[in-house]
């Protein structure tokens, strides 16, 4: 992997990740951009104990641009179209979000472009390119961990307009939070309580139970993917490395090498769940990583959570009264049924 760090016209950082070591990235962003001005701030909810990012400047972010004006496509200098990527082509590119939810002392937000092909998806990537994305996620986790205001790094992808995606180009995001997220705090508390009660690691025990529970979807030498016993979403898979590590930086070379094939197969199965002729399955793919400075870090287990909000053909799972009002999920698809379906649609 070759990493090239440069800057956009307004000073935001842009990083190219290339498979070839001899790749040269010297294109210059010539857009007349003003420096980014953000209003991001973090407010604490005293009743729930969580934090809310308030970012009114995001109201002006790019929203479903017309054909030919995608800001994540490569720049076409001859055609007069300039984008966030000054070069005419790229493998993987990461840049600071121009409309960040978190900025300055309130954290940092980055955009990860998986490919220059506007009409592709992550599932269309080669194993080599998917491995390069994993390298980019890992590198950004390592660098953002060094920022004094950052407590946790979240790499994720939203796919599909049903999820709320406003740019169709295949991309994901990275949020570097200045606090530990509520979801991670809850998992960490559960792990600490389990350790105190049993002397064992909660994630290890959950993984052992799931591997024996009939809901395994796919398994390799270094990773296993399963539908969890108490899945919140109609189709939800958790992908764990078999050797527990707290974040992406801890993966072994063998685990890194195996990940692309298993993850691509999982994504392709998601696109086949509802049968031929269905539009691409909307999903969220979320990496859960340990906070950098919180107690119990070594007890946390890196894992990826992949789920769709589509519950059956043509129908979405909406978060209604119980889910949105009380945070109590009601799942229409038994996890065992979901696991069986995801095994049925395996690649031939």
Report, as residue numbers or ranges, the catalytic residues: 171
Tell me which residue has tokens 């270094």.
Answer: 222
User: In a 10 Å sphere around its CB, with 0-12 CB exposed, 13-18 middle and 19+ buried, how is residue 340 labelled?
Assistant: middle
Sign of CA dihedral 214, 246, 164, 64: negative
Q: Are 242 and 301 in contact (CB under 8 A)?
A: no
Sign of CA dihedral 98, 162, 223, 1: negative
For residues 194 and 196, give the distance between their C-alpha atoms in angstroms, rounded to a whole number.
5
Planar angle of CA 227, 230, 234, nearest 5 degrees: 60
User: For residue 284, what is the enclosing H or E element?
Assistant: strand 283-288
List CB contacts of 199: < 8 A, sequence separation 6 or more.
none
């Amino acid at each position: 992997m070759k990493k090239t760090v440069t800057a956009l016209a307004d000073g935001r950082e842009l990083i190219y990740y290339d498979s070839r070591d001899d790749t040269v990235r010297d294109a210059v962003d010539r857009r007349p951009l003003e420096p980014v001005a953000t209003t991001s701030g973090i407010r604490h909810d005293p009743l729930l104990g969580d934090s809310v990012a308030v970012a009114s400047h995001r109201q002006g972010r790019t929203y479903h641009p017309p054909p030919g004006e995608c800001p994540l496509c490569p720049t076409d200098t001859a055609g007069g179209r300039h984008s966030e990527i000054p070069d005419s082509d790229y493998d993987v590119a990461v840049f600071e979000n121009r409309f960040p939810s978190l900025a300055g002392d309130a954290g940092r937000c980055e955009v990860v472009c998986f490919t220059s092909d506007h009409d592709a998806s992550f599932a269309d990537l080669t194993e080599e390119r998917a491995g390069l994305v994993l390298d980019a996620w890992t590198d950004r986790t390592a660098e953002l961990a060094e920022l004094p205001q950052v407590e946790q790094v979240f790499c994720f992808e939203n796919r599909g307009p049903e999820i709320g995606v406003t740019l169709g180009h295949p991309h994901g995001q990275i949020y570097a939070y200045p606090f530990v997220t509520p979801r991670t705090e809850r998992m960490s508390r559960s792990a600490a309580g389990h350790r105190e009660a049993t002397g064992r690691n909660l994630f290890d025990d959950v993984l052992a139970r799931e591997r024996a529970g009939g809901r395994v979807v796919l398994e390799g030498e270094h990773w296993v993917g399963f539908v969890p016993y108490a899945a919140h979403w109609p189709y939800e898979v958790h992908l764990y490395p078999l050797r527990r590590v707290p974040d992406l930086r801890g993966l072994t070379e063998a685990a890194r090498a195996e990940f692309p094939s298993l993850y691509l197969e999982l994504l392709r199965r998601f696109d086949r769940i509802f049968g031929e002729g269905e539009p691409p399955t909307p999903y969220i793919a979320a990496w859960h990583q340990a906070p950098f400075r919180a107690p119990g870090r070594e007890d946390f287990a890196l894992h990826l959570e992949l789920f769709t909000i589509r519950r059956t053909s043509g129908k979405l799972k909406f978060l209604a009264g119980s889910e949105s009002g009380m945070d109590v999920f009601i799942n229409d698809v038994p996890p065992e049924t979901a696991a069986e379906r995801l095994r049925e649609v395996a690649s031939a």
